[in-house]
A and B are shown apart, each in its own frame.
Chain A
């Protein structure tokens, strides 16, 4: 789930086309909730996305996992309907709702057919504002969460990310899995769930993205109806997290022929003047696709992995520059050396003009292609607002990217890439690496 957050944060930033191929309406509901809308009546449904900033970091230390479990319970009975009846009612309208929890936000996504939108909105309103939290549903979902925790404890990718976060963030909420532990989840009471609901879903922390077959006026009324009388204010968010991990390798023994490596060091804030240079730099280092430095050196030239990438984590409270790959136990040491070499080479020598030009062509060309559906667009619009990105970002974004010069890239590479600070968590039975060195 932590990985999902990083992906969500990443998508949040880089998600709208420079050329305004879509038109965004800024809507304020009669009740004062702000929403962005892309109206398109070509398909008779609407996609809605509600982002409530705060998320699992609001959990009390004694109730870790409460927000995660609370979100899982929203679809388990609401208003007059028990879990079964609620699910049948949603199914009968062919609506789809999802209730997701992340470290820094909880997200409600919905698709509703135009033909029965009012009835679907009634059901969504019930889930958000009058969830029942019946004891039998709590016990059922608790069992599911415990199974997820057990499963994650035997999944090398989950172990790698969890270990990295635990090492990096001390006693900050970022150090802990949002699902909680077997102990905290076993101890969660109905009161804990009710409290998490009151804290996570509040009017002053919500933004809305919408796309599809709905007008601005209809959307405003729909939002007010769905959010009803949720509490106005939320508890404070935690302070920023200090990234406490220094360079090195941590090995976690795990019975597998292959090792998972999760690595990184501190990153860069979204409002840093060099942020766009860092964004282009990461594309060259380990961005998506096949032509990054890391893919080229570790996979294409040497066959040491199936896939490797790096990403700027824009987690609200502690940005990071992170990466991940898997290699056979006998190869992972070699792959780590190659990663460090690339890190050092870029830090010392910067990138070439061709690398800069190619990366920028890719990034600016790919941008407008992202909006290919109502559901996608609604998500992008909500995520942008949750990050306080202005609506004109849509038109300016490619210009920001194109303005990054070779000199900017040299400067930010020297500043951001610190090979000696890179910490690798290796989960497996790697050869030639010893635990804890």
Chain B
């Protein structure tokens, strides 16, 4: 029930996931392209993914949305393929394909019968360098991304609120801009903007090939050398140096009112450290802290106290983004029961946090979470697509193979004292952004059905 409510509110519960090491092999092509192979022969299929170490946070000022726009345009014509042919060929071979863009990465993937892997590589290698940005296609596709923004963001009060919260949290880092882009900047994105962005970032030495499924590392190596090997490395690949955050010294407040809001809520967000190469202990402690405070289900502290014991919340949770190139966010959310104000809901969150900081950790709860993290290694093996996606995310956010493989042990080694130390550093009088998502005061009329 909680999960369905969270979905309805536009909030999601993210289960803790610790990686399974599994059968993973990593190597590099001579041109610098990184390759990761995850073997699983349970189904005669492969997932073929190419991830670029570039995302929305690498965009030039004034061009928010260009990383995602280029992702869309990568399905158009190349020197060898007609517009749309890429997906047509995939589907005609019984496969499916798509792509995704985040602040830190852009990824392309196909899922298809294992014996078609070479064909996928041939086409993916083709569009890495030989995509053609045709002015007519660019204009039509710009309409598509504007429709995408309208559907995903502008039609949802919760999505608009989240966008405003991020913009308030990040004072200087481009994490404050939406991946899809600000509408006024999207409308101005040009063919040349796309061309320049692609020319800078789409090179084998900025790419990671991940193949997961019914295939061996040696098969992948041979095919990758054939298809991706001949593409020269870029000699002018920029470092991913984004503008960084100044010290946060002032609390900020966001008030957003929209007549489409059904259940008003309060969100409190603050900057938090993330997993760093060779230094993941703090992030591991914060992962467990988020679980203890407000992870899935009603046993977390916030849910137990506010939802069950005091019956003051419909939903209360904590979120932490551990895997990100630059420091990211830790957030608390509280949807009060009807009749309670957002001011009261906000005070409730801080009251529970204060209690936690003074009372410490329920050791039985801590032990259950540690066991769940260990078990997630078993469950995660059930989806090689999921594994492939997690590896891609970790590698494109700057982590290395050793970091990824040691993460389960680092999580397992976290002690209650580690969590309390991390909690005090994060939550003891933090500088934060508080957001209220509200309905208009006079919103009495129901929206008719």
Contact = CB atoms under 8 A, between A and B. Distances in A.
Interface stretch (A7-15, A25-33, A136-144, A264-272): A136-144
Nearest to A305: B147
A247 interface: no
A21 B375 contact: no
Nearest to A163: B449
Contacts of A144: 1-2, 4-5, 314-315
Nearest to B20: A43
A255 B378 contact: no
Given A113-B378, A369-B43, A304 B143 contact: yes
B368 A166 contact: no
A338 B191 CA distance: 27
- For A139, A147, A163, the residue with the greatest tally of chain B CB atoms inside 10 Å of its CB is A147
A301 B5 CA distance: 38
A75 B3 CA distance: 12
A255 B259 contact: yes
A88 B299 contact: yes
A154 B384 contact: no
Contact of A302 (B1, B140, B447): B140
A223 B354 CA distance: 46
Interface in A392-431: none
A156 B155 contact: yes
Contacts of A318: none
A256 interface: yes
Interface stretch (B87-95, B171-179, B325-333, B429-437): B87-95
Contacts of A306: 144-145, 147-148, 150-152
Contact of A365 (B8, B93, B157): B93
Contacts of A386: none
Nearest to B1: A72
Contact of B142 (A140, A303, A363, A365): A303
A87 B140 contact: no
Contacts of B230: none
B446 interface: yes
B381 interface: yes
Contact of B84 (A44, A143, A300): A300
Contacts of B148: 306
Contact of A45 (B145, B297, B314, B378): B378
Given A147-B314, A166-B449, A258 B382 contact: no
Contacts of B371: 92, 94
Interface residues of A, number: 84
Interface stretch (A225-233, A342-350, A372-380): A372-380
B308 A254 contact: no
Given A44-B378, A154-B447, A372-B42, A303 B147 contact: yes
A291 B382 contact: no
A256 B371 CA distance: 46
- For A252, A361, A362, the residue with the greatest tally of chain B CB atoms inside 10 Å of its CB is A362
A156 B259 CA distance: 13
A372 B314 contact: no
A88 B368 contact: yes
Nearest to B83: A300
A140 B308 contact: yes
Nearest to A296: B84
B44 interface: yes
A159 B93 contact: no
Interface string B334-370: 0101100000000000000000000000001101110
B45 interface: yes
Given A256-B155, A258-B150, A373-B382, A21 B92 contact: no
Contacts of A341: none
B91 A290 contact: yes
B396 interface: no
Interface string B291-324: 0000001110000100110010011000000000
A145 B1 contact: yes
Contacts of A290: 75, 84, 87-88, 91
A151 B383 contact: no
B372 A91 contact: yes
B413 to A, nearest CB: 19
Contacts of A143: 314, 337-338
B111 interface: yes
A162 interface: yes
A83 B298 contact: yes
A155 B157 CA distance: 10
A425 B336 CA distance: 33
B368 A289 contact: no
Contact of A153 (B92, B96, B147, B262): B262
Contacts of A154: 157, 260-262, 447
A361 B95 CA distance: 10
Contacts of B45: 368-369, 372
A353 interface: no
A303 B137 CA distance: 10
Nearest to B369: A91
A364 interface: yes
Contacts of A302: 140, 143
A92 B43 CA distance: 32
A257 B449 contact: no
Given A145-B1, A147-B335, A365 B140 contact: no
B245 interface: no
B206 interface: no
B100 interface: no
Given A257-B155, A290-B91, A327-B147, A21 B44 contact: yes
Nearest to B40: A372
A60 interface: no
B395 interface: no
Contacts of A163: 449
B449 A288 contact: no
B263 interface: yes
B135 to A, nearest CB: 14
Interface in B232-291: 259-263
B448 interface: yes
A352 interface: no
Contact of A358 (B92, B147, B152, B259): B92
A372 B87 contact: no
A299 interface: yes
B165 interface: no
A387 interface: no
Nearest to A299: B144
Nearest to A326: B151
A244 interface: no
A247 to B, nearest CB: 21
Contacts of B308: 83-84, 140
A228 to B, nearest CB: 23
Given A258-B155, A291-B91, 5 more contacts: A143-B337, A154-B262, A156-B155, A302-B140, A369-B111
**Interchain residue pairs A-B with the least CB separation, the first 6:** A365-B94, A303-B143, A94-B375, A72-B1, A306-B148, A258-B150
8 contacts: A151-B8, A153-B446, A258-B151, A289-B96, A362-B91, A371-B43, A372-B383, A372-B385
Interface of A: 1, 21, 40, 42-45, 47, 72-73, 75-76, 83-84, 87-88, 91-92, 94, 96, 98, 111, 113, 136, 139-141, 143-145, 147-148, 150-156, 159, 162-163, 166, 252-258, 260, 288-291, 296, 299-307, 326-328, 331, 358, 361-369, 371-375
